Amino acid sequence: MADRKTADLVLTGGTVLTLDRGNTEATAVAVADDRIVAVGTDAEVTALAGPDTRVVDLYGRTVLPGINDSHLHGAWLGVLWPGTVMGSGGLGGGEAAPALSTPGERRAAIRRTGDLVAALGITSYTEPGLGPGEDAGATGCFSSGVLDEYIAMANEGELRARVTVLRLFGELDGPSTLADFEAGLATGLPSTDPRWLNVAGVKIFADGIPPMRSAWTHRCYHDGSSGHLLVDGGDPAEREANLRRMIDLAHRAGAQIGVHATGDRSIEVTVSAMADAIAAHGKAGRHYLIHGDLVAVDVLKRLPELGIGLNTQPGIAVMTAPWLAGALGDEALAGAWPLRQALDLGVGVCLSSDAPVIEPDWRRWIAAAAEWLNEEGVNPDLMLKLLHCYTVTPAVQDGAESWKGTVEVGKVADLCVLEANPLTVAPAELPQVGVQMTVVGGRVVFEG
């Protein structure tokens, strides 16, 4: 299929995994301005080339939609890289990042992440939590100032990846109050082109993480505790009421809600509150659970109908599984991160890195997902499913599936070129498949 415009860029002689509804394959793709104008055979697509068109022979390489790392702390990564929190051997604070305190430092960190993600074929990411709750934070990586810098860079055309932002009105991995949340939600922001910077909604920390015994769980930790909600309140009932109120307020304000929830109890309350808000005020919102370590299968089953997604990190699952078992026992681990059930039930699963907790290399985390599923061999169907979790489904999370996430005519030209076809390699080999080129909005931002 093609429209009649002369192309600026033609990629030909390869495999194009469109990841469209039928997972159609083609051999060539053409781009004009920021859009895909043709996908098809080499002959069909090169027909759109003119004297000024850059024609790239793929020599059998593979084109994918640009990768969307739907949970990545961009400014924090830019400061810490090549360090990571897990790379320093723990989740309890990790490597201390030098504080970002000036606009120039913030911009440099965002730029550094822009370069890093471009080299990985990542063309979109979600910055999950920036706002006033972190203005006095130790790292400065999640402050309102960082959001201001993103806004400035978006308006100057300086972003190298499309960014979605969730605003944070409490502390990162810490407490929040209903009063701060309500006041924050009422504050406006300068407008930006949502195709480059979309301040889509809010992030709420419902609880912590199982290895720190801060996830709110039905099961007791070995010390007899079972965690609690991080949302402020005089007792557990008031904490829960305040979390429910936050979700209701944000839903009514038309904001997307991403809730960090790892314990089965916090997940139950979160989904119940989202379901109540949807029932009372109508659907939409594209809300989602972040991490979801101990989500119960009964809760998973409700998510597709409610349109609630699950944003989870297989790399963290693989690395921290022994710590979860250490905190809550082997039985808890056996039911944790039910990725297979989530995929089989049709839950909107986004896989992501949570960089810089771990590194942002999506190829490693697709391999980790396959490892979690005990799928070692070449399996094109599984690989397609996992690739969807890094492209098509995060576009849905972004409310952007009409214009990004697949290689189809009319969509933005966000592309990732790999040196081999991921459908032909075992998942464990994927990290060795090099990224050859990254295109964002028709602009080549990386060439290997």
- Least distance in Å: CB of 125 to Zn ion? 11
CA 115 to chain centre: 18
Q: How far is CA 308 from CA 68, 275, 321, 352, 384, in A?
A: 18, 9, 25, 16, 22
- Least distance in Å: CB of 415 to Zn ion? 27
Q: Which is nearer to Zn ion, 180 or 354 (CB)?
A: 354
- Least distance in Å: CB of 336 to Zn ion? 18
Q: Which is nearer to Zn ion, 365 or 446 (CB)?
A: 365
- Least distance in Å: CB of 203 to Zn ion? 9
Q: Which is nearer to Zn ion, 65 or 128 (CB)?
A: 128
Q: Are 35 and 412 in contact (CB under 8 A)?
A: yes
What is the contact surface with Zn ion in residues (CB under 5 A)?
Answer: 354
- Least distance in Å: CB of 313 to Zn ion? 8
Q: Which is nearer to Zn ion, 32 or 80 (CB)?
A: 80
What are the structure tokens assigned to 62, written together?
Answer: 């593979």
Q: Report the residue number whose CB is nearest to Zn ion.
A: 354
Q: Which is nearer to Zn ion, 192 or 312 (CB)?
A: 312
Dihedrals φ, ψ of 293, to 5°?
-45, -50
Q: Which is nearer to Zn ion, 70 or 421 (CB)?
A: 70
Q: Which is nearer to Zn ion, 11 or 209 (CB)?
A: 209
Cα–Cα distance, 185 to 168 (Å, whole number): 9
- Least distance in Å: CB of 72 to Zn ion? 8
Dihedrals φ, ψ of 111, to 5°?
-65, -45
List of residues 6+ apart from 422 with CB closer than 8 A: 17, 62, 64, 366, 383, 387, 430, 433
Look at the chain and count its residues.
Answer: 448
What number of CA atoms fall less than 13 Å from residue 5's CA on the CB side? 16
- Least distance in Å: CB of 201 to Zn ion? 15
Q: How far is CA 8 from CA 50, 158, 349, in A?
A: 8, 21, 34
